[in-house]
Chain A
Amino acid sequence: MKGKRGFEFSFAWLFSIIVGAMIIFLAIYATTNYVKTERTIQDTELGKKLGIILSPVETSLESGKTQLISFPTETRMYNDCSPSGTFGAQRISTATKSGVGEEWRLPGEISSFHNKYIFSKPIVQGNSYIIFSKPIELPFKIADLIYILSKDQKFCFVNPPREIEDELTSLRISNINLTSSISDCPSESESVCFTNTGCDIDVSYEGKSVKKKYSDRVYFETTSLLYGAIFSESKDYECQLRRLMNRASELSWIYYSKSLSLSSKGCNSNLEANLAIYANETFSIDNSLRLKNIAIDSDIIGRKNDDLSCKLF
């Protein structure tokens, strides 16, 4: 066709363009999917690792512990509580921010832990997380409660009781301000009132209850549960409380067996009946309002145990 104007679009050209386009499309499709899968894998691994590194934060003899965890990129931690099964499950998943493609994708696969109790917002987002833990003792140690706050998440405690003030000061949690008046609270912080009302979170320290705006009132015993009620959603708090009480029930049966074993050695504690009642009571808890009765029984068991020569706990 030389010498003629125009370009002959032969079948060979057409074929190679169509097939070439198909190959390029497939390559782009495969790469995009591959990148998405890799992100899901990384997020899943990160979720599991986060759960694992929470173990050293738990206390042994200490009354509390604080730690800062930093991530290379901004990360979202999804905290979910499942009450099913004997001990329920703490479910953790994460998603990381990406500069390529979608900024945030759905979180990776969920990692479940039966022996962890995390109190936080359902989604905690940031580069650094402040993590602190405190044991719950009713009357024996039931578990370590872990509280997770993003470094950007600010709280302002207005007129907290001396006990809380001392504890937060010694734990050196930088994003909790302690003030005597709500007007001194930074504007971006969540206010927590202890003596008056009108804050984002109102605490009745005497009535042992916490009321958040647009949420149901929840009840607590011990300061570890008070922090849990402040830092988490009421629905999650109730779920974690049920899990904790189920563990308390199992522990009661362990102490019950220990008591029988010690009795056979000549050290009678006479706590078997109290422990059996306590185990059933904690197992059947369905909301935090019933904590008050549990606390009364716990107090009785605790006092009886203190009088023993061979202590159960």
Chain B
Amino acid sequence: MTTYLANYSKGQMKIQQMAFALVAMMIFFGIVALFYFSIKLNSLKSDAQSLQEQEAKELVRKIASSPEFSWTSTDCSNCIDLDKVSALKSRKSYSEFWNLDFLQVEMVYPLFSGECDKSNYPQCGKITIINNENHGLELRAFVSVCRWEQDKGGYAKCGLGRISAAGINLK
């Protein structure tokens, strides 16, 4: 039986050592880079989400004065027209108009319960205009909610309401 022994010179060993060290170094930097980019990607997602929430916050502040909501018969900057909002609910084209996942107008005072529809309006508690599943953080603002009342010769009847909105959920 013949035995073969591999003979390595000192130089070859050094080259091998260096190659292994370089490969190990590359793997190490690769892992560090992967780790860094996964953290970065997460922070990017949360930044994008926070921008969506910021947009929703600005919208909640200003939506009462947008023409789809505003009570325009008299000068009232923070009054919304419940008759218009009720009509807006049936307009499907508005589902993506405000970049929102959730938009609702609630009656706070006088208090009623239940979602508004043609049968119970205006004796109802809320009108949901946009309601996508798994929406994010709801932001709220109080507003005056007005509608036309025909009694006593006709007058604008106003109550206290609340607008809730949530930005698009990116998760």
Contact = CB atoms under 8 A, between A and B. Distances in A.
A251 B72 CA distance: 13
B22 A12 contact: no
Q: For chain B, what secondary structure do more than half of its interface residues adopt (helix, strand, loop), or is it mixed? A: helix
A267 interface: yes
B18 A12 contact: yes
Interface range on chain A (Cβ under 8 Å from partner): 35 or more
B134 to A, nearest CB: 22
Interface residues of B, number: 45
Q: For chain A, what secondary structure do more than half of its interface residues adopt (helix, strand, loop), or is it mixed? A: helix
Interface in B60-104: 61-62, 64-68, 70, 72-73, 75, 77, 81, 83-84, 86-88, 90-91, 93-94, 96-99
B58 interface: yes
B154 A250 contact: no
B148 A140 contact: no
A210 to B, nearest CB: 25
Contact of B84 (A53, A56, A254): A254
A180 interface: no
A61 B65 CA distance: 8
Given A12-B15, A56-B62, A313-B72, A267 B150 contact: yes
A139 B72 CA distance: 12
Interface of A: 10-12, 15-16, 19, 23, 30, 41, 45, 48-49, 51-53, 55-56, 58-61, 86-87, 113-115, 140-143, 250-251, 253-258, 261-262, 265-267, 309-311, 313
Interface of B: 11, 14-15, 18-19, 22, 26, 33, 44, 47, 51, 54-55, 58-59, 61-62, 64-68, 70, 72-73, 75, 77, 81, 83-84, 86-88, 90-91, 93-94, 96-99, 148-150, 154
Given A253-B87, A266-B150, 11 more contacts: A23-B22, A45-B51, A48-B51, A60-B65, A113-B99, A140-B67, A258-B81, A261-B87, A267-B148, A310-B73, A311-B72
